[in-house]
């Protein structure tokens, strides 16, 4: 065998299976639902609370292992809790997000950011879920 010849490499076995398709959730797809008498183990945030109480709740909940369900019949408040939850996760100003949601920022979230958001804000419950859902179409791409 000449000095510049390398021994033949052994073949490497590869599995050629199709990877599982990942299911991606949108920012608001399926987020709104009718008010439930039993939300399970999730904490409930009543969005009639003032901004200070909502901010304090979000600071705590984004650092926990559980998510929460927000309850409101107000379309602006539903949009505000989405913006504020994202702000809390990003370390941004929660109170500003509650009063002035940044729609272009929210619409531009990457899928991992949307998934992180959806793991925290589990649902928005409302007595008027269709109206709330319609109001959140401003976040659709």
Question: pLDDT tens-digit profile of 105-138?
Answer: 999 999 999 999 999 999 999 999 999 999 999 9
140 has pLDDT over 70: yes
Question: pLDDT tens-digit profile of 80-106?
Answer: 999 999 999 999 999 999 999 999 999
Q: What local confidence, expressed as pLDDT, does residue 7 receive? A: 61
**5 or 54: whose pLDDT is higher?**
54
Long-range contacts from 47-55, C-beta under 8 angstroms, 24+ separation: 47/71, 47/72, 47/74, 47/77, 47/78, 47/80, 47/81, 48/72, 51/95, 51/98, 51/99, 52/95, 54/81, 54/84, 54/94, 54/98, 55/84, 55/94, 55/95, 55/98
Point out which residues pair with 82 in neighbouring strands.
Answer: none
Please tell me the distance from the alpha carbon of residue 45 to that of residue 70, in angstroms, as a whole number: 5
| Tokens (6 digits) for 125 | 């419950």
Question: pLDDT tens-digit profile of 29-58?
Answer: 999 999 988 767 789 999 999 999 999 999
């Amino acid at each position: 065998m000449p000095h510049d010849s390398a021994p033949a490499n052994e073949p490497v076995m590869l599995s050629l299976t199709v990877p599982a398709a990942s299911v991606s959730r949108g920012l608001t797809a399926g987020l709104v639902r009718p008010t439930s008498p039993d939300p399970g183990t999730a904490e409930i945030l009543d969005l009639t609370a003032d901004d200070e109480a909502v901010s304090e709740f979000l600071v705590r909940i984004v650092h926990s292992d559980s998510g929460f369900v927000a309850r409101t019949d107000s379309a602006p408040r539903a949009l505000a809790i989405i913006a504020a939850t994202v702000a809390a996760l990003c370390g941004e100003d929660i109170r500003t997000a509650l009063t002035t949601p940044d729609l272009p920022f929210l619409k531009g979230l990457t899928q991992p950011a949307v998934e992180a958001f959806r793991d925290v804000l589990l649902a928005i419950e409302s007595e008027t879920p269709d109206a709330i859902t319609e109001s959140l179409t401003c976040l659709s791409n």
